[in-house]
Structure 1
C-alpha cells in the first residue's frame, strides 16, 4: 500500500529526522531526554517524519509514541553495534560503518539501513552512553557518520557525556566527529577529551534535558513527603548493604519520620533493591514506582531534602527548588555527572564516601534565572540544528570492496585486508 503524499507548505513536510538514543529500557533520564526532543520537534517540525533508533523500540513506543504526530521507533544502529565482531571500539566502528555503506553485509537490516541513510538529520541525542562502560556504543556515532556520508544530510550530537573514555578511543572519536556539523558535550571532562584529541569547534552546553525542564514534569499532588530518596543498585562500586546503611543513618540524622519519607524508582526494579533491604524498618514510607512518576510526574517540590544516586533525579528535583545530596556510587562515572550539575549551580552537595553521613542540605536548588539561562543556551543550539533542511548532493555510490575475510559470525576483518577495510570505512 502506497502512502498518500502530504500536501503542505511546511519546509519540513517530507523531511526525515532520525534521533539516536537510549529510550525504552526504561530509565527516567533516558526517557526524559528523548521526550524533550520529541516535544521540541512537535512544535518546530510537526510534519517531519521522525524516527527514534533506540535499544528497546517496543517499550519506547508505549512511553513516547504520543509526543510527536509522526514519530516511529526502530533499533537498527543498536543491532548493528551488537552484531559487531568484538567489544573493541575500533572494530565496532569499522564494522558498523561498513554495514551502513554496504548494507548487503548486514542483510537482515537492509531496508532499515536504507531508511537511516535517507535522513536529512541524524541526531545522536544526549546522555552518558558512549564511553568505556559500553564500548560498543561508539558504533552509534560511527553509524550516524556513515549514514550522512551516503545521504548528504547532516549529523549532529548534543549533550554527550563521553567520560570515562575507552582506551585509545579519543582519536577514533576525533575521526568520527569530522563528519558531524555539531559536536556538543555536557561536562568538562568530555570537552577536555575531544579538545585533547584535536576535535575542532567542540561545544560545551548542558545536558539536553535542560531544554525541557518545567512544572509539566512535576507531580500535581500537594501532600508530598519532605524527605525523598532515589538509590540505585546498578553500576555501583559499593555494596548494596552499605547504601542501605547510609540511607537509614542519614534519615535518622536529618530527623525524618517514616510517614514523611518517599522512595522514587528511576529504573524499574533496579531502584527498588536497596529500598527492599530497609522497607521493614520504615513501614510507613511511600514508594513511587517508575510507572507512576512517568504518568503523574516526579514527586518534587521546593523545601524537600533529597538523597539521590541518579543524575536526572538530581537535575529535576533541584530545578523544582529542592535541596539535596548526590551520592556518587561510581567515581569514574557518576561523580562527573553530579559534579556537572553542582558546577551549574544546583546548590546540592555530593558525597563519595557511603560511610560518612552527610549534613542535611539547605541549598534550595537552582535559581530560576540560571534555569532560564541554561534553557536558552540549549534552545539556541536546537534552533541552529533544526533549520529547514537543504540537502547537498550526496556522495556518489562507493564501489563495494571484496568482503572481509571472515571468522565466526562472518564479519571480523583480519590481516592486511581487514586493516584496509577499517581505514576505508573511517576515511
Structure 2
C-alpha cells in the first residue's frame, strides 16, 4: 500500500515538473507570437502547404514535447496536413532529449539529426503519395470517423485524413460566479508561479542527469520539487475540470487564430498545459503501476535484446509519454543499449504530444503511431547492421 501511495504522489509531482513546465513555456511562446503577429504565423503556415512537414519536423525537434503539442490542434483545425503530424511526431525529441544532450550530446545530435531527416522525408512522402494512410485509417475506424471538435474527418488528397472544422466551436463563453470566477483567476495566477518555479527545478533536474528525487517536504531541493509539483498538478486538475469554464477558454485542444490580449494568451497556454497534464498524469500512473504489478523493466528488456535492440527501442517508443523514453535514454548513457536502439526510439517516440491527439481524434493518433514506428524499425535495424551496436557512442566520460 505504501508503494501505491508513493507512486501516486511521485507521478503527480514528476508529471508537472518534468513535463508540464516545459510544455507551458513552448505553448506560451507560440501563443505570444500569434498574439503579436495577429495570427499571421498560422495563416502563413496554412497557405504554404509545401513547408508544413518541414515546419512540423522543426517544431518536433525542439527538446521537450511543447513544440509538437502545439502542432496537434492545427491538424484538427485542418490547418496542416496529416503528413505534417507524422513529421512532427517522428522528429519529436521529448523530455528524454534533455537527458541525452546532458549525458551524451554527440549521440543526441546524431540520433535526432537522423530522426529529423526521417521525419521530413516521411512527412512529404505521406502528403505526396498517401502511402496507404487512407486504407489504414478506414481499417482502424471502419465504423466511421468523427472529430470531437464539432467537425468531421474526411479523406483528402492522396488518401490522407483531413478535418473540416466548425469554427463556431472554437471559443467558449465564460460562466460567471461570485465564488468560482475570482477563485479561478487566482488559481490561474498561482499556476503560473508554480510553472515558473517548476521550470527552474526541471532544468536543474535534467542538468543533473535526471536523478531520483526523494519524495519529501522541507527546505531543500527535493522538498521544493515535491511541493511545486504537487501544487502545479493540483491546480492543473482544477483549471481543466472547473476553472476553464470561468476563464473564457472552455475548449482545449484548439489553435485559435490569435488572441485579444496578453492575459488571454496566458490563459490559453495554462489551459492547454493543464489539459496535457491530466493525460500525462494518467500515463505516468498507468506506466508506474504496470511496472509495480507486472515487474516490467524497460531498460533490462532493451539491454537484453541484442540484435533486436533497435526493434525494442522502437517498441518502447510506442508507449505514449516521456517516462519510458527517459528510462531508455538513461540506460543508453550507462552504455547498456546500442546507438541503433536510441535512434529507433528517437524516431518512434511521440512523447506527450500524442495525448492531445488521442483525446481529440483517436483514429489519427493510432494511424500516426503506425507511421512513426515503421521508419523507426527500418532505420534502427539498418544502423545496427551497417555500423554495429556502437554502445557508449558519444557518452561523456
Q: Which entry has the higher C-alpha Rg, 1 or 2?
A: 1
Structure number with higher strand proportion: 1
Higher RCO, 1 vs 2 (CA within 8 Å, ≥6 residues apart): 2
For Structure 1 versus Structure 2, the TM-score category normalised by the shorter chain is under 0.3
